[in-house]
Amino acid sequence: MKSETLRGIRTMRDVKSSVEAAARRKPRTTNSLGKTEEELHRLESVNDVSTGKLLRDERRRFAARQASVERVRKRLLRFRERLAMTVNRNRALMDLRHELRQQRDIAAQKPLAQGRPEMSTEQGRSEDGLRQKEVEY
């Protein structure tokens, strides 16, 4: 009788994406199938002149791109500093104006809190502050 156990079932650990599989696997040609691991490693480590020039050019291009990115970062930092100065100056100006308005409002409310000075009735004013005039006929 055949075994009823499931064989060949792959778990999540066994499943790899095609990108992961391709990254670990090098293309095998008919010629490379006959070579030993030692020969393959030795052949991969051999650098020709054009590869060295290509690598130098790529390093130079990368350094130029990196320098360009750094220049943009510095320019952006200077712009942000100028913007921060403007914002801080406007904030300080706004605080000063707010403080001056509060002082003005407090100064305007002090005489109201003390009350108006009363005019004496001798000056021709009544107790409610209205002027009285005597009319002769």
- For the whole model, what pTM was predicted? 0.40
Residue-wise pLDDT for 109-119, tens only, equals 876 555 555 54
Q: How far apart are CA 70 and CA 76, in angstroms?
A: 10
d(CA 44, CA 40): 6
Helices marked H in 37-114 — which ranges? 37-45, 49-114
The answer on pLDDT for 130 being more than 50 is: yes
Tens of pLDDT, residue by residue over 50-74, are 788 888 999 999 999 999 999 999 9
Which residues are CB-contacts of 72 (< 8 A; sequence separation ≥ 6)? none
